[in-house]
Amino acid sequence: MQLPAHAQLIAPRAELTYLDSQSVELPAPITALQAWRLVMAKPLPGLGLAFKLRDAISARFGVARIGGFSGAVGNAPQVGDHLDFFLIEHIDDQTLSLTARDRHLDVMTCITVEGARLAITASVVTHNWFGRLYMLPVAPAHRLIVWAMLRRLRRG
């Protein structure tokens, strides 16, 4: 899989449990933060229910509830700030790298833009059996969710 030039990963590629990168050509160039705002402005139908289900199941194993996406983004988010449950690790016009880490797995979602090409790259490292079990349904669901989000953006 060819990754976008500015894509960042949670760990070296050989250590990843999960890696997915999808992209779309948009009508006009935007920044990585603008891409996040656009995606969060119109959440996919059913995503809220999926997060409630995830929280209900995962909480039984000591995993913090994440509640889903609120769509709230401050005027000038910086490294160290949070966008919902994600920590901002890197932000500039071309790249927005977000992480979520716990004892079961570490996740990075990296949004990159090159001209009008927008890519979302997700990488995961699991730490134990629960992390691996968690990723069994999440991996295919994540691919589908990102695909649907990108198609919605392309249509406008």
**Least reliable range by pLDDT among 59-63, 98-102, 108-112, 138-142:** 59-63
Read off the amino acid at residue 60. Answer: R
Tell me the pLDDT tens digit for each residue of 120-139: 999 999 999 999 998 999 99
pLDDT of residue 41: 81
- What rounded mean pLDDT belongs to the chain? 89
Residues 18 and 136: their CA atoms lie apart, in Å, by 10
pLDDT at 69 (0 to 100)? 66
In a domain, 39, yes or no: yes
119 class by beta-carbon count within 10 Å (0-12 exposed, 13-18 middle, 19+ buried): buried
Please tell me the distance from the alpha carbon of residue 65 to that of residue 119, in angstroms, as a whole number: 27
* 18 has pLDDT over 90: yes
Q: Is residue 7 part of a domain?
A: no
In a domain, 2, yes or no: no
- Whether residue 1 is contained in a domain is answered as no
Q: What is the CATH number of the domain that holds 36?
A: 3.30.530
CB 106 within 8 A of CB 125: yes
pLDDT on residue 67: 66
Domain contains 8: no
Residue 113 lies in a domain: yes
Contact 142, 40 (CB under 8 A): no
Q: How confident is the model at residue 88 (pLDDT cuts 50, 70, 90)?
A: very high
Decide if 4 is inside a domain: no
Residue 6 resides in a domain: no
Sign of CA dihedral 75, 26, 147, 142: negative
Domain count, the chain: 1
Domain containing 39 equals 13-70+82-155
